[in-house]
Amino acid sequence: MTPPAPADRTPVSIITGFLGSGKTTLLNRLLQDPRMAGSAVIINEFGEIGLDHLLVTAPAENMILLRSGCLCCTVRGDLVQTLADLWVRRERGEIPAFDRVLVETTGLADPVPILRTLATDEDIAPLFRPDTVLTLVDGVNGYAQLDAHAESVKQAAVSDVLLVTKTDIADAANVAALDARLARLNPGAQLRRAVRGEIDAGTLFGNTIWNSAAHGPDVERWLSEEAYAGAGQHDHDHAHDVNRHDDHIRAFSLRHDAPITMTGLAAWLDMLAGLRGANLLRVKGLINVEGEPVVVHAVQSVLHEPLMLERWPSDDHGTRIVFITRDLRREEIEKTLALFGLNPARRPAGSALDPEAYARFVELAGAFHPEDRLTGGETGGSPSGLS
């Protein structure tokens, strides 16, 4: 069977959030919502959700079909095996067709490994693609959790949609402070509220570039460059506390007006992701590659497949990139933009490399201090897929 084109792969969204943020309540609502028909939802345990009264049939040991038309299943083995099982059973006609997958994580789970699986696993990546990362934030305890737990900060920073819950019982001033803090952590995320899981399911998913690529204004909305324009100013709003997790987080945008080469883009992405991937919590960019619009999207060292747009979404043809980083300053990344000009046509005859360009690459890579590379955590070989 020929794998589907990237835009036709089944989208997989992730529902995450710290302990007690309301994921079970939200899932109960979603699983009863007729608008979720055609969804396959992967949860941890059936017993945690309480679905007996919604059950229509059980097409497999770990799968149940609900009255809403939603297919619910538990993880069997690991996520790769579960997704593969869903795909095979759908192709065989053993289960109803589904057009999207939702994955529930545990309260302490890091969503990045799931994104990495979707982007790089040789069996899963050709069939599925990452969609929305939805993070629930407790309106009562969320501010304190951001102070106390780095996992909570990371979940918020890598999200497409931030859903603040329990606002009916939370102090209004505390909720406003939480909203402002989340907006500083992740300026480009959609910020929404839900009380006891009540929210329009149609507003939560499908917020990625694959759903925006055909529509110019939607690409601009996905990039949200304007939201990042003043985000970095919050660094001056309070004294820094090295024990405050989001004091290590920076959100900013960069611009490059001249067209860049595909070689330069690949080298730049590979250097950033390979040397400082763990510090790149989120990168979204609309890139002018030799006059053509190309969208890039990365979470840590996981670079999703670049998307070539049919046309520019506006009259602005400059390269625009937004970042959410941890312990990585804007100035450090700005120094690397010289790689955009790498041109394979300038290499000497009979040589695979332009010595001058390679020397420049080594120089720029050296701008990332050795001690940072040692603590960077994740590395990756040629993650761009463009080399």
**Per-residue pLDDT tens over the stretch 247-288:** 789 999 999 999 998 888 888 888 888 888 889 999 999 999
Q: Looking at the predicted structure, is the pLDDT value of residue 354 above 70?
A: no
Q: Considering the domain boundaries, does residue 222 fall inside one?
A: no
pLDDT for 106 equals 76
pLDDT for 145 equals 93
Residues 52 and 188 in one domain: yes
Helices within 186-287 (DSSP H only): 209-212, 216-223, 225-228, 262-276
The CATH code of the domain that includes 115 is 3.40.50.300
Q: Looking at the predicted structure, is the pLDDT value of residue 14 above 90?
A: yes
Residue with tokens 């820094």: 240
Write out pLDDT tens, residues 99-115.
999 998 877 778 898 89
Residues 187 and 307 in one domain: no
pLDDT for 105 equals 85
Distance between CA 285 and CA 294 in Å, rounded? 8
Are 263 and 382 contacting, i.e. CB atoms less than 8 angstroms apart?
no
3-class SS of residue 326? strand
Residues 158 and 236 in one domain: no
Greater model confidence, 210 or 186: 186
Among 26-30, 50-54, 113-117, 365-369, top mean pLDDT goes to: 113-117
Greater model confidence, 387 or 178: 178
The CATH code of the domain that includes 269 is 3.30.1220.10
Are 269 and 245 contacting, i.e. CB atoms less than 8 angstroms apart?
no
pLDDT for 201 equals 83
pLDDT for 345 equals 59
Distance between CA 76 and CA 319 in Å, rounded? 43
Residues 182 and 284 in one domain: no
Residues 186 and 50 in one domain: yes
Residues 182 and 246 in one domain: no
Mean pLDDT rounded to a whole number for the chain:
79
Greater model confidence, 345 or 197: 197
pLDDT for 351 equals 47
Residues 63 and 162 in one domain: yes
Q: Looking at the predicted structure, is the pLDDT value of residue 368 above 60?
A: no
Q: Considering the domain boundaries, does residue 70 fall inside one?
A: yes
Greater model confidence, 6 or 185: 185
Q: Considering the domain boundaries, does residue 370 fall inside one?
A: yes
Token duo for residue 72: 């619910």
Q: Considering the domain boundaries, does residue 217 fall inside one?
A: no
pLDDT for 16 equals 92
Residue with tokens 């046309």: 311
- In the structure, what pLDDT confidence band is assigned to residue 240 with cuts at 50, 70 and 90? very low
Q: Considering the domain boundaries, does residue 335 fall inside one?
A: yes
Please compute the mean of the pLDDT values over residues 347-355 and round it to a whole number. 51
Please report which helix (H) or strand (E) contains residue 40, including its range.
strand 39-43
pLDDT for 2 equals 73
Residues 255 and 369 in one domain: yes
Write out pLDDT tens, residues 128-173.
999 999 999 999 999 999 998 888 999 999 999 999 999 999 999 9
3-class SS of residue 41? strand
Are 290 and 281 contacting, i.e. CB atoms less than 8 angstroms apart?
no
Structural domains of the chain, count: 2
Write out pLDDT tens, residues 25-35.
888 888 778 88
Q: Looking at the predicted structure, is the pLDDT value of residue 385 above 70?
A: no
Domain that residue 88 falls in: 6-207
Residues 202 and 282 in one domain: no
Token duo for residue 100: 């999207």
- In the structure, what pLDDT confidence band is assigned to residue 17 with cuts at 50, 70 and 90? very high
Residues 96 and 182 in one domain: yes
Token duo for residue 139: 């309106």
Residues 245 and 203 in one domain: no
Distance between the two ends of the chain, CA-based, in angstroms? 27
Q: Considering the domain boundaries, does residue 365 fall inside one?
A: yes
Residues 237 and 194 in one domain: no
pLDDT for 236 equals 42
Q: Considering the domain boundaries, does residue 387 fall inside one?
A: no
Q: Looking at the predicted structure, is the pLDDT value of residue 202 above 90?
A: no
pLDDT for 55 equals 45
Please compute the mean of the pLDDT values over residues 212-236 and round it to a whole number. 65
Q: Considering the domain boundaries, does residue 202 fall inside one?
A: yes
